Structure 1
């Protein structure tokens, strides 16, 4: 593979003029069996490069414990790209944003109250160094200077929108160079004065990110970098969705128009995204630009991009391919794509077995006792749910239960009876109750709906981070169950209507797991609808597909065929509230609202 440099405003690959035409595909959002399919479609669209972030929280889920297999096999993804004839841009900075949980930072960093993120903080940088000592040697053999496909690497990501610690950026840069990262290094920021001033590293290429306004964006970059190549490192050709919003779309003609503005001036470009993929499991991030406006991202990361969430070319794919052919003076020939991943509607599956959460928490985790409430990170927990229980004496008059800082959504129970929901930033919701003479058991189940991935409130511990009061009296002496929901094997399921008198085990709103099975002979991609369900997540054959919520916009969960198998398949739905129909439906078409 070639070595990327530049001379003046021109990129050079092995000393020959080169225009980077790149598209983003995140290996951690696509099942590995489909990596080659997506990369070959990128190549068929006329692109010469693929770009990916590297999420620290995926590769070091616990301090000193590393993961580079399965969906985390970054090296394999890069090799597949190289074998497909693509160059690779890697963005391995500690922080990636990407609408990904905590912007890619590992949650265990927050166990230290004093740590300062994304700056020249000794504790933070010691953790970065340990991670880089493992990650970067894996990438070195894949650099173009060693015959591999990686032609460029990012130092930090949109740092100018967060801070201005130049010594931190220089530390990261020096650490990459010291570990042998001798390909072109760059930064990327929004096209504004304060972002370019604070986010750039002297002596290294600066790039800009935008979705429109090409002339103004490049003009601003030219004020800070007069002679170097122009590159849009993130061309936002679509957008992501938060729960409760409308699904974002953008016309293919508008995407092509802005691309043409870049190609007309000879700029290089990286499409963010070429293929969005899926926030499987609990890996979605959240936005919070103002303290009380918490906005978690949905499970789908379709992004209205050139390939759909399930990998099918969209109108944007064809419009962009035509433009690339025109401006590169290349005959791309007849469009040849890998065989399509056909979808299928398997229909209705009844989930006849159930397991009530509050009755079986001891099957899922070992309780710990604390005088005060502790957030997840203090207990070594990363994602999922956490249950806080205590007992209060009685009698007491009706008073409000005040959870001073809930992160992010809590269900409150008194003596096992559901009382209501408390949501971060939603002051319209409240719970109050009186306590009988014999006292009452209080249970608060809190869901981590995704740590903030961008903005000033990045430090986002989960669970209950401050005190709980009944009226003005703080409550102490808590039993806490960490519920990451990674191992459900301890649950005891029973038939929902197994009682002799026909009485259902689930009474009212009560968090519970529902299980069913289905037989397959023809395994293909499919989509899961949960029209009668309220809020929760879904496991298929032990794989966490992600969250659902009836507030939308997303109405289906994508189920790639490699997660299914011929013969019997298992599905488990964890429902926080209730369902009017204990069944799900597999359909052949996505519905993102």
Structure 2
């Protein structure tokens, strides 16, 4: 069995010098039927290892429920990696960042109003220990100490950018050990945070994307002995709504990689293959302004979102070949793609009239947060009666994150957290009119102190300065759409509505759903949640994995939050549109 050790100069595997040539590949961002393909392409590029985070929020969606199957079958992913001859770097958190919803921390932690995440708060530590107690025992057979592929396990994640409580890190490390992790541990931090995030006796690694020799020299100055490694060598970046698609010149990125490998250091690309934030799983950043991340996690990686090699794949393979053996043969060919233009969505169902069929409402004096409703993702519909007719001013203390406001079903405005909007003026037609506020969780913040990010309407809601009371809060996670009643018709709904259509194919293949002319919402194919779309861009298509499709009749459902495309058509095309680029 392979045993990873360290000496004064570097890593040893079975007593022989070893260098990690690794790439990020998050199993939870890739359809499970495509794991084997992505892992094979990692080996063919010359990698000997893959790295993955573990999303606590998906594996333990409620305190009493744990999931380790289907698309979350981590043991199977590890088995496939081993079958491909790849080692694994495992990063179980509990916090992972990853531009992932809430940094991977489950939303139910925030039901405690004063909980302190990533700290020695006893409630947080008890939850972490419970999570590790459920996750790690099934993974023990896959540790290298037992003949499996997992060579090393990370303690927390870039903790130095968040805090400096060494005792907290020690608890996390002790919990990993107590639950059977007997392979080497490591931490990772950006160079300026290295000392704050380090843990005595645990290997410290650095994260950066350029000036490799400079950063590694600084790491060596702080750590005179032991391996040099970058756990996140940033070779691309993520996108946010309203900006450009970020790319990095392949030749320049390859040059940076060459500089890094010339030092003898180990490397993990972030990312080798980014994948997709399917459904509602994207994260967000909030550095004084809230910025949600897009659905695609293409990351301008060597493998694009559909798993096809890019120019960067070839450039990186050529660099790796200077330092290590690389499998022979041509670069893997792009996968087959499918085109079905002009799919008409012939049936519709308005959201507000169907809301009661989707979930029961809960009555309370004030609007309840998503966390109080035991809800992770999606929307909340808040409703109350307006006392008087005439011009009025609605004020909301905090909108988390985007509120569409309706009076008697008619849209009167939108309040966006991103634009710091909290007030809206409109006219009430009659006493007793229904005020409906549809609030979208656009992604919990995944970095910094903002991770304490509760969703919905927070704080007081005022009407002309007086607090509105007696609300109904209705959770709409939209995990299942079977209870929606669709009808045929040509009338364009004035508010949010689901639109459904079908299309025929003979053989499934990867494709991209294009929603030109639509405004904002979500899309599903055969019940699989593809993610969010938004005309704000930059992303203008949604990746559809081939395993989601089937020969014969397929169903597409689009939830359009605004007026929508008058023609109600969508296209499946063979190319992605991630928007105008910015380097």
What TM-score bracket applies, with the shorter chain setting the length?
over 0.9
Distance 2:249 2:400 in 1: 36
Distance 1:450 1:239 in 2: 18
Distance 2:571 2:305 in 1: 19
- 2:442 pairs with 1:449: yes
- 2:540 pairs with 1:567: no
Distance 1:551 1:429 in 2: 21
Q: Is the 8 A contact 1:137 1:179 kept in 2?
A: yes
- 2:464 pairs with 1:471: yes
1:31 paired residue number:
31
Q: Is the 8 A contact 2:314 2:331 kept in 1?
A: no
- The CA RMSD over aligned residues, in Å, is 1.2
Distance 1:370 1:25 in 2: 44
Distance 1:343 1:416 in 2: 41
In structure 2, runs of 5+ residues without a counterpart are none
1:541 paired residue number:
526
Distance 2:168 2:136 in 1: 18
1:583 paired residue number:
569
2:313 paired residue number:
317
Trace 1:348-367 onto structure 2 (pairs within 5 A).
348-367=342-361
Distance 1:283 1:590 in 2: 20
Q: Secondary structure at the match of 2:509?
A: coil
Quote the offset at 1:487 in angstroms. 1.5
Quote the offset at 1:165 in angstroms. 1.2
1:510-530 residue CA offsets vs partner (Å, 9 max, x unmatched): 000001111111211111000
Quote the offset at 1:434 in angstroms. 2.9
Q: Is the 8 A contact 1:44 1:335 kept in 2?
A: no
2:329 paired residue number:
334
Quote the offset at 1:374 in angstroms. 1.1
- Stretch moving more, 180-189 or 438-447: 438-447
Trace 1:170-181 onto structure 2 (pairs within 5 A).
170-181=170-181
Distance 1:183 1:271 in 2: 22
- 2:389 pairs with 1:395: yes
Q: Secondary structure at the match of 2:435?
A: strand
In structure 1, runs of 5+ residues without a counterpart are 498-503
Q: Is the 8 A contact 1:369 1:477 kept in 2?
A: yes
Quote the offset at 1:333 in angstroms. 2.3
Trace 1:184-223 onto structure 2 (pairs within 5 A).
184-192=184-192, 195-223=193-221
1:97 paired residue number:
97
Quote the offset at 1:140 in angstroms. 0.9
Quote the offset at 1:218 in angstroms. 1.3
Q: Is the 8 A contact 1:350 1:584 kept in 2?
A: yes
Q: Secondary structure at the match of 1:44?
A: helix
Q: Is the 8 A contact 1:420 1:430 kept in 2?
A: no
Q: Secondary structure at the match of 1:404?
A: strand
- 2:506 pairs with 1:521: yes
Q: Is the 8 A contact 1:421 1:429 kept in 2?
A: no
1:556 paired residue number:
541
Quote the offset at 1:425 in angstroms. 3.7
1:22 paired residue number:
22
Q: Is the 8 A contact 1:531 1:555 kept in 2?
A: yes
- Stretch moving more, 427-436 or 242-251: 427-436
- Stretch moving more, 445-454 or 255-264: 255-264
Aligned counterpart for 2:405 among listed residues 408, 412, 417: 412
Quote the offset at 1:335 in angstroms. 3.0
Aligned residues: 578
Distance 1:39 1:436 in 2: 60
1:77-119 residue CA offsets vs partner (Å, 9 max, x unmatched): 0110000000011001110000000000101111111211001
1:274-332 residue CA offsets vs partner (Å, 9 max, x unmatched): 00000000000001122xx000000000000000100110111111111111122x363
